[in-house]
Chains A and B, each alone.
Chain A
Amino acid sequence: QTVVTQEPSFSVSPGGTVTLTCGLTSGSVSTSYYPSWYQQTPGQAPRTLIYNTNTRSSGVPDRFSGSILGNKAALTITGAQADDESDYYCVLYMGSGIWVFGGGTKLTVL
């Protein structure tokens, strides 16, 4: 069974740039997986950041961008701010209506 992989944790300095990735245990992520990204702070519902690889959801600042880097989907945050400290989840479309989330990345801004 293919698993969606994410870095368990990452840290970035305020004002810095960080790239989180979303891969597969078997194979490469492409736009055909329609990767999307979600931000979640403790006790809150997820917030949609990016869908269809690189389309920003309404109201999401352009500090957040999505792409394919090598064989993975990527979420890049530029000019990191304190309130970017959150859990970030990617999800991939596996076909036949099925979606699979990655395990999430806990981003620390310090």
Chain B
Amino acid sequence: QEQLVESGGGVVQPGRSLRLSCAASGFSFSSYGMHWVCQAPGKGLEWVAVIWYDGTKKYYAESVKGRFTISRDNSKNTLYLQMNSLRAEDTAVYYCARGIAGGSDAFAMWGQGTMVTVSS
């Protein structure tokens, strides 16, 4: 059974850091591009970042560029999102999503999400 499980969310003060993880199972993780997508409370979906199947290419939304870093460990079937210099507007549910193929492709499947709250 293909599955994505996010973890690492929580409450963090503005300016601090947080690292999210997304554990993949049931499919060949190293063959697919992976995304992070967020959703602020009561708002729509917002694409955050993508990483190629082999980690060689990474792209970010302008809103997080320079603050967030996407990475992956194919030996552990795990995707990460390092979130630095967090702001109140980063408060959202963060979903990881598997791409349809190895690059920046549409989202084939989703995890259940992890909530990040940035508040003092």
Chain B residues numbered 64-102 whose CB sits less than 8 Å from any CB in chain A: 95, 97, 100
Question: Is B27 an interface position by the 8 A CB rule?
Answer: no
Which residue of the partner chain, among A45, A52, A98, contacts B106 with CB atoms under 8 Å?
A52
Contact call B108/A45, Cβ cutoff below 8 A: no
| Interface flags, B6-17, vs A, CB<8A=1, else 0 | 000000000000
Contact call B111/A51, Cβ cutoff below 8 A: no
Question: Is A69 an interface position by the 8 A CB rule?
Answer: no
Also in contact, A98 and B95, with CB within 8 A (given A48-B108, A48-B109, A52-B106): no
Q: Which one of A11-19, A20-28, A75-83, A88-96 contacts B?
A: A88-96
Chosen A-B contacts, 23 in total, with CB atoms closer than 8 Å, are A36-B106, A45-B95, A46-B107, A46-B110, A48-B108, A48-B109, A51-B106, A57-B108, A87-B44, A89-B44, A91-B45, A91-B107, A93-B106, A97-B57, A98-B47, A99-B50, A99-B104, A99-B106, A101-B44, A101-B46, A102-B44, A104-B44, A104-B45
Number of B positions contacting A (CB below 8 A): 25
Also in contact, A36 and B45, with CB within 8 A (given A45-B113, A96-B59): no
Majority secondary structure of chain A interface residues (helix, strand, loop or mixed): strand
Contact call B59/A97, Cβ cutoff below 8 A: yes
Question: Is B25 an interface position by the 8 A CB rule?
Answer: no
Also in contact, A93 and B104, with CB within 8 A (given A45-B113, A46-B110, A99-B50): yes
Separation of A97 and B61 alpha carbons in the complex (Å): 10
Chain A residues numbered 55-110 whose CB sits less than 8 Å from any CB in chain B: 57, 87, 89, 91, 93, 96-104
Which residues of the other chain, B, contact A36 by a CB distance below 8 angstroms?
106-107
